[in-house]
Amino acid sequence: MSTNAFLNPVTTQTWTNGRHLVRCVKVIQETWDVRTFCFMADQPVLFFFKPGQFVTLELEIDGQPVMRSYTISSSPSVPYSFSITIKRVPGGKVSNWLHDNLKEGDELPVHGPVGLFNAIDFPSDKVLYLSGGVGITPVMSMARWFYDTNANVDMVFVHSARSPKDIIYQRELEHMAARINNFSLHVICEKHGLGEAWAGYRGYLNKPMLELIAPDFLEREIFCCGPTPYMAAVRKLLEAAGYDMQRYHEEAFGPTPPEIRAEVKELAAEAADAPELPLAELNQVEFISTGKSIRVAPGETVHAAAAKLGLHIPKACGMGICGTCKVMKTSGEVEMEHNGGITDEDVAEGYILSCCSVPKGDVAIDF
Ligand SMILES: Cc1cc2nc3c(=O)[nH]c(=O)nc-3n(C[C@H](O)[C@H](O)[C@H](O)COP(=O)(O)OP(=O)(O)OC[C@H]3O[C@@H](n4cnc5c(N)ncnc54)[C@H](O)[C@@H]3O)c2cc1C
Ligand code: FES
């Protein structure tokens, strides 16, 4: 039976942060190496989230569990489904697997939605969206949300693409810009191929270009997402221009951590090479459910300690954003440098993000 037969906007339940089974209902080829995957739940769910937030997919590839985070590119204004938009990363395990394998009808668990980089927690009536490549996904969700809800938000949307054939959502963005006055679109192409027409901005975003595009950029709340060098260049440009960086928000998709096996091997090799530290300087990390424990050098994370023991704590972003590696700490203290991947309530209950938590002494973990 089609899911549509169940839809009832009055009784439908809403999405809450957690693990949910969803079904792929549509695959859209956006550009030659970017696809959008749309998902619904079998029991209808209204997928409410803060535009800009992301989910973490739980997959099994070649018999190995693997998790990766992807921003929700759709808007909660179209809540019966949600979408993620994925670019193939050359040599990348999960992005290519999803492009090659994930099809309509397939089911998979997702975790989320989570994320501090969102349009709701930083409200503003004048925004500047800066994106590079597939970093367009969170700002597209924000723009779609404000467009669909007729919000009184003045949006300047600046997207940098490698070449015209790489512009994601091009027709939809042009459609939005043509229909409302408060959405101004500017696309910058690094280069263009033989026979490809391009009359827009060329090269990289720079200060003269930004001043031309958004002369009032100093007054705008800025949301930026893209490759690491792109975001570093944007930050440098804004700081030099005297922009109030309190109003600058960015999301890093980040390097994906190496697979756990490689990590175990590397860490074992590192451990073998490392100079012996006096026992008193090592911290004991005990994993109580599995009954294993190890002494680690100062600065090593709880996750790295687990990996050395061959214990696979799920991990996706590796930088305290996604919450995938959350575990309960039953005793001891850690220094946790997260990026919004855990709530204050969870911290109060004793949870930590193992990828970015460094023991301050002996600790015990429920794993
Ligand atoms: C919060 C968040 C949101 C995100 N949102 C999006 C999104 O909306 N869209 C999107 O497309 N991505 C998004 N990402 C990135 C995504 O999670 C993945 O990192 C990305 O798809 C690459 O994963 P992969 O498994 O294909 O690549 P991986 O297999 O993890 O490889 C990543 C890179 O490492 C290289 N590599 C892999 N193995 C080796 C090796 N053994 N030696 C040397 N190099 C190696 C690969 O060639 C590749 O360049 C997001 C990430 C985060 C944290
Ligand atoms: S793996 Fe994402 S928070 Fe640790």
Choose one of 82, 114, 146: the last residue of a domain. Answer: 114
**In a mutational test of the pocket of ligand 1, which residue from 32, 70, 317 has the highest number of ligand atoms less than 8 Å from its CB?**
70
Average pLDDT over residues 104-123: 93
Cα(122)–Cα(116) distance, integer angstroms: 9
Computed on alpha carbons and rounded to an integer, the radius of gyration of the chain in Å comes to 22
Tokens of 359: 């023991």
pLDDT confidence bin for 192, thresholds 50/70/90: confident
Find the 52 Cα to ligand 1 centroid distance in Å. Answer: 18
Specify the CATH number for the domain of residue 72: 2.40.30.10
Find the 315 Cα to ligand 1 centroid distance in Å. Answer: 13
Quick one: 25 and 51 in the same domain? yes
Residue 352 lies in a domain: yes
- The boundaries of the domain holding residue 305 are 277-366
pLDDT at 277: 64
Contact call for residues 24 and 38 (beta carbons, < 8 A) = yes
Domain count, the chain: 3
> Does the CA dihedral 27-33-34-37 come out positive or negative?
positive
Closest CA to 323 of 86, 53, 63: 53
Least confident of 127-136, 252-261, 281-290, 354-363: 252-261
pLDDT at 265: 45
Q: How far is CA 120 from CA 52, 123, 146, 148, 183, in A?
A: 9, 6, 11, 15, 18
Contact call for residues 55 and 72 (beta carbons, < 8 A) = yes
Find the 98 Cα to ligand 1 centroid distance in Å. Answer: 12
Least confident of 213-222, 257-266, 302-311, 343-352: 257-266
What are the tens digits of pLDDT across the range 234-248? 999 999 999 999 999
Which residues are 39's β-sheet partners? 24, 82
Cα(347)–Cα(64) distance, integer angstroms: 30
pLDDT confidence bin for 64, thresholds 50/70/90: confident
Query: Which has the higher per-residue pLDDT, 319 or 326?
Result: 326
Tokens of 257: 């951590």
Q: Which ligand ends up closest to the CA of 265?
A: 1
Tokens of 279: 């026992």
Specify the CATH number for the domain of residue 284: 3.10.20.30
Tokens of 143: 């723009």
pLDDT at 5: 57
pLDDT at 264: 43
pLDDT confidence bin for 275, thresholds 50/70/90: low
State the closest ligand 1 atom to the C-alpha of 322, by its place in the atom list counted from 1. Answer: 1
pLDDT at 324: 81
Find the 358 Cα to ligand 2 centroid distance in Å. Answer: 14
Average pLDDT over residues 94-120: 94
What are the tens digits of pLDDT across the range 15-62? 887 789 999 999 999 999 999 999 999 888 899 999 999 999 989 999
State the closest ligand 2 atom to the C-alpha of 342, by its place in the atom list counted from 1. Answer: 3
Residue 71 lies in a domain: yes
Residue in the block written with tokens 């697997």: 97
| Edge-to-edge order in the sheet of strand 126-132 | 201-202, 183-189, 154-161, 126-132, 221-225, 248-251
Find the 78 Cα to ligand 2 centroid distance in Å. Answer: 28
Q: Confirm whether pTM is higher than 0.85.
A: no
Q: Whose CA is closest to atom 42 on ligand 1?
A: 258
pLDDT at 261: 38
Quick one: 130 and 107 in the same domain? no
**In a mutational test of the pocket of ligand 2, which residue from 259, 327, 353 has the highest number of ligand atoms less than 8 Å from its CB?**
353
The set of protein residues with a Cβ atom below 6 angstroms from ligand 1 is: 54, 68-71, 84-87, 89-96, 134, 137, 253-254, 256, 317, 321-322
Least confident of 248-262, 264-278, 288-302: 264-278
The set of protein residues with a Cβ atom below 6 angstroms from ligand 2 is: 315-318, 320-325, 341, 353, 355
pLDDT confidence bin for 333, thresholds 50/70/90: very high
Find the 90 Cα to ligand 1 centroid distance in Å. Answer: 9
Find the 206 Cα to ligand 2 centroid distance in Å. Answer: 33
Residue in the block written with tokens 């100079």: 275
Residue 362 lies in a domain: yes
Quick one: 141 and 242 in the same domain? yes
Closest CA to 213 of 147, 129, 143: 129
pLDDT at 110: 92
Quick one: 28 and 106 in the same domain? yes
| DSSP 3-state percent helix, strand, coil across the chain (nearest 5) | 30, 30, 40
State the closest ligand 2 atom to the C-alpha of 69, by its place in the atom list counted from 1. Answer: 2
pLDDT at 97: 98
Quick one: 290 and 224 in the same domain? no
Q: Which ligand ends up closest to the CA of 117?
A: 1
Residue 6 reports pLDDT greater than 70: no
What are the tens digits of pLDDT across the range 168-185? 999 999 999 999 999 999
Closest CA to 249 of 215, 275, 226, 265: 226
Cα(135)–Cα(16) distance, integer angstroms: 25
State the closest ligand 2 atom to the C-alpha of 320, by its place in the atom list counted from 1. Answer: 3
Residue 23 lies in a domain: yes
Annotate 137-199 with three-state secondary structure: HHHHHHHHHHHHCCCCCEEEEEEEECCHHHCCCHHHHHHHHHHCCCEEEEEEECCCCCCCCCC
Q: Whose CA is closest to atom 3 on ligand 2?
A: 320
Three-point CA angle 249, 141, 120, nearest 5°:
55
pLDDT confidence bin for 1, thresholds 50/70/90: very low
Choose one of 114, 149, 167: the last residue of a domain. Answer: 114
Find the 285 Cα to ligand 1 centroid distance in Å. Answer: 29
